[in-house]
Amino acid sequence: MLAYIIRRILRAFPQIILISILTFIIIQLPPGDLVTQQILNLQASGVEVSQQHAEMLMRQYGLDRPMHERYLLWIGNIVTRFDFGYSYAWQKPVAEVIMDRMGYTFAIALLSAILTWVVAIPVGIFVAVKQYSITDYFVTFMTFIGMAVPGFFLAMVIMYVALTRFGIRVGGLFSPEYMVQPWSWGKFLDLLSNLWLPVVLLGIGGTAGTIRTMRAMMLDELRKLYVTVARAKGLSETQILVRYPVRVAINPIISGLMWLLPWLFSGGLLVEIVLNLPTAGPALYSALLAQDMHMAGAYILIVGALTIVSAIFSDILLAVSDPRIRFGAVEGA
């Protein structure tokens, strides 16, 4: 098992390197660079920029060096000093801009993921056991709606209703009075009172999808002979469920983990914009629009790395849950 984990982690390194190279190329793609931009800006504000000054700036940012050296410089700064470069649009280092925001994004994504599993797995099992019951039809109907209605649209509806009906402003993560305050217990509680809405909105799509997956898997497994064999042993229905079909039905959910975190990370963008959240998504999105390439590069790199890390995570969990993967004996059971 340990060997499997080590092998799996080692395999991720080339992937991460590849993603960083691709990211770097993307950063380099748009015409113009940081220095040209800065020079243009200085000129626009009436400052004369000498050839010497320009070259000094070029050297300062390493733009006179060959491509591969610049790549190494860029990635080296990220790895050693967590320095993602300078955001032209924000006039601040990228890391400084996204640090806090990343924290909120992670918190929301993680809570959404937990909510998704806590709700979707038991509900999926239940409706599979009660196939064709009223509950099953109702849940099936709701999951279709949950998958079809985009989260941002729901966010807008809720904001509208809250404002027009109840005169409450929803949105943001903090109430105005706490916005600029330092951290305190009150601010934390305020955060929690605002956090649930984006968490729920972000989780709805995934919850609906996971319920459908769980239900379909369970229906498949419940038909298998080993369920009858377990019943013939004298186990109760609940014992049978958790010890047998669920053990197999849960596997696609575990491998879906690989997509869940990155999806929550980037897929929540519209909800975050609509709700005006101080998360990483909107900031990075505007960076892309403004061709703020170091910022955009940071975003691509982080989402890419997140995908790879969650893939490692889900593979290891899967190997724990399914010995066929551990022993390399995958059969069409």
Partner 1 sequence: MSGNEVIAEVKNLRTYFHVPEGVVRAVDGVDLVIKPGRTLGVVGESGCGKSVTALSLMRLVPSPGRIEGGEIIYYQSVRETSASSLSDIIDITRLKPNSREIRAIRGNHISMVFQEPMAAMLPVRTVGSQIMEAITLHQNVSHQEARERAIEMLARVNLPNPDRIVDNYPFQLSGGMRQRAVIAMALSCNPHLLIADEPTTALDVTTEAQILDLMRKLQADYNMAIMFITHNLGVIAEMADEVAVMYLGKVVEQTDIRSIFINPLHPYTQALLRSIPQLDDVMTRSGERRQLHTIKGMVPDPYTVLKGCPFHPRCPHFMSEVCDQVVPEVIEAEPDHIVRCHLYAPSPEEAQTRKEAML
Which residues here bind partner 1, judged by CB under 8 A?
224-226, 228-237, 243-244, 247-248, 321-324, 327, 329, 331, 333
Question: In terms of CB distance, is 120 or 246 closer to partner 1?
Answer: 246
Cα–Cα dist 285/262, whole Å = 15
- Cα Rg of the chain (Å, integer): 25
Would you say the C-alpha torsion 182, 184, 187, 188 has a positive or negative sign?
positive
Q: Least distance in Å: CB of 127 to partner 1?
A: 16
Task: Please state the closest distance from residue 243 (CB atom) to partner 1, in A.
Answer: 7
Nearest distance in Å: CB 235, partner 1: 7
Count other C-beta atoms under 10 Å from residue 126's C-beta.
18
Residue type, 227: V
48 vs 331, beta carbon nearer partner 1: 331
Residue 316 sits at φ, ψ, to 5 deg, of -70, -45
Q: Which residues lie closer than 8 Å to 241 by C-beta, 6 or more apart?
A: 125, 129
Q: Please, what is the minimum distance in Å from the beta carbon of residue 220 to partner 1? A: 13
Nearer to partner 1, 92 or 247 (CB): 247
Nearer residue to partner 1 within complex by CB, 44 or 232: 232
Q: How far is the CB of 175 from partner 1 (least distance, A)?
A: 48
Q: What count of residues does the chain have? A: 333
Q: Which is nearer to partner 1, 169 or 326 (CB)?
A: 326
Query: Are 71 and 24 contacting, i.e. CB atoms less than 8 angstroms apart?
Result: yes
